Amino acid sequence: MELSQSRKTALVFGATGLVGKSLVTQLLRSAYYARVRSLGRRKLEFTHPKLEQEIVDFERLEEYRSLFKADDVFSCLGTTRAKAGSKEAFYRVDFTYAYQLARLSAEENAHQYLLVSSAGADVDSPFFYSQVKGELEEAVRELPFWAIHIFRPSVLEGERAEMRLGETLAARVLRGADFLSGGRLAPYRPIEAETVAMAMLRSAQLLQPGFFIRPNEELEALAAPISKRLQERPRS
């Protein structure tokens, strides 16, 4: 059951990414949060009275411990092997940094942890990307949060700062394959980053203790109440 009103602090990692930027926008609109703190390597290009932006050195995260005090922690941190430049660099971002951020949040008594992972995440996957995502999921699961939500979106769609031809082509292929299969490929159907962000916000307000995997095919249903409210909001 949702809270009718709350004044929580949200902590966001990866706020400048496709999902992260949309999530920050949703959090700033939400009456549940009085403060939205972004920790990252660079700041967003907009400001807001509720938004606190902190630049951090990921090699020295322990020095920023005081910034990790929050109620709900949203992790959208991630890169690609191509962008990182090597398997080692990718692992450093998507596992080492991501896990350190989660651990510090838990040690500072955050209540809920909401992590963007990936469809197909599995430590036994033949694909390195999916292996790393699965390893992070298993590591985070052992941390003492009151609730942990793992989101496994497929290929993300939305307006990116940089063009990613591979992901654009993959989205088209997957949409066509899903149509031809009669919907049997729903776990891998491309999804809007905004939908993932709404699903994260909605899940945080359900106040369900425990560990939850949120697969791609469930995200639209989770996001629906927030999406509907936005559509019904009078235009200024």
Phi, psi of 175 (to 5 degrees): -65, -45
| Residues 226, 231, 234, 236, CA torsion sign | positive
Contact 39, 56 (CB under 8 A): yes
Residue 129 appears among annotated catalytic residues: yes
Contacts made by residues 195-198, CB under 8 angstroms, sequence distance 24+: 195/219, 195/220, 195/223, 195/227, 196/19, 196/22, 196/116, 196/151, 196/153, 196/156, 196/223, 197/19, 197/22, 197/23, 197/25, 197/26, 197/223, 198/26, 198/222, 198/223, 198/226, 198/227
Strand partners of residue 72: 10, 112
**Cβ atoms < 10 Å from Cβ of 155:** 22
In order of 109, 143, 154, 161, the CA distances from 185 in angstroms are 38, 32, 10, 28
Which residue among the candidates 8, 113, 133, 188 is catalytic per the annotation?
A: 133
Tokens of 58: 């990921």
Diameter over CA atoms, the chain: 52
Q: Is 228 a catalytic residue?
A: no
Residue of 32, 129, 188, 228 with catalytic role: 129
Active site residues: 129, 133
